[in-house]
Amino acid sequence: MEMEKKMNVLVTGAAGFIGAALCGLLVRKGLKVTGIDSVNAYYDPRLKHARLGNLGFTLPADGEVVRTTPATGYDRSEIEYREIPYGRRLTSALNPELVFIRLDLTDRDGLESLCEREKFDVIVNLAAQAGVRYSIENPYAYVESNVVGFLNLLECARRWPVKHFLYASSSSVYGSNAKVPFSEKDRVDDPVSLYAATKKCDELMAHVYAGLYHIPLTGLRFFTVYGPWGRPDMAPMLFSDAIMNGDEIKVFNSGNLSRDFTYIDDIVEGIEKLIDKAPEDPSLARVFNIGCGRPMNLLEFITTLEAALGREARKKMYPMQPGDVMTTFADTTELRNVTGYAPKTTLKEGVERFAEWYLSENLWTR
């Protein structure tokens, strides 16, 4: 798509899975991009650092050495790494129009200072405390990041208006919805996890801010994103670690689950296509499903991953987990009508690309 060359975009969660991939795509499209991220230890920060390195950022050598145990992921042992100093501004060696700053959305003063200085044209908010199961263990982290942090960004967009404000919601808002595929017109008032509740709260806050201040807001309900550089608390990484280490993999609900697995490239291309397509009426916030539209049974996914890794899994069956849902299935008609969105990557192709990255010599853990 054709866009003005120096459109100034803020991407939050830029060291995250989707955020890093989106930053790379946007600068290749000729945009000016500032990425921010708190780089917390929900999962191993060395993966976040590796994503930043892949974007051309050289990590500073003067950060404090930290020893910690990540909150989630397959390996919960203590790790050691050097932190990026808070507030430090880094410029990519691959593209000077790409900048990274370590900044937390709950730092209202720091966020306001950045937005006042940069006068962003577009905000893409991908920063969030992720994970359904961890929200049961640490609920405060979800409200602080997903609700308070989002409010801080909305206030910035009110004070320094933007052409478009896109933000991450989640397919989790559909909760125990039995109707499939999930449509944006479905009711989403029956969440089954605090994570889902915070994402629904974001959608309600967006509705209010659009109505009061005419901020052009678009929410994105993501469906099970996977691919190279993915999160270590998600099934592809958890299963791959266990398979390659000869350990058992946990198969919840005896595998009687299905997910709308969506490849990372299809996700970020969908976001990029939306950037210059703000709502025609900025007083009406909107949401879109962004998924593959072809749900896959969990056991079939495992079989596909086994073939790609060349090794068989040792499976151990478990009951349904609290906060989990049986099926996710995206109806992407609305997004397709606005952008022409059409995911191209089959599950087999996507899993093979993930496995190739996972088995490569430059994997971040090796």
Please identify every residue annotated as catalytic. Answer: 195
Distance CA 344, CA 331 (A): 15
Sheet with 89-91: list strands edge to edge: 89-91, 98-102, 32-37, 8-12, 122-125, 164-168, 217-222, 286-290
Strands (E), 53-195: 65-68, 79-82, 89-91, 98-102, 122-125, 164-168
Per the CB < 8 A criterion, the answer to whether 168 and 200 are in contact is no
- Per the listing, tokens 């086994």 go with 306
3-state secondary structure of 273: helix
**Residue 185 burial class via C-beta count within 10 angstroms: exposed 0-12, middle 13-18, buried 19 and up:** exposed
Query: Residue 87 is encoded by which pair of tokens?
Result: 């507030």
The token pair at 173 is 């808002």
Terminal alpha carbon distance of the chain = 38
Q: Quickly list H helices, 119-255.
A: 134-137, 139-142, 149-159, 194-213, 235-245
Region of 225 please: left (phi>0), alpha (psi -120 to 50) or beta.
beta
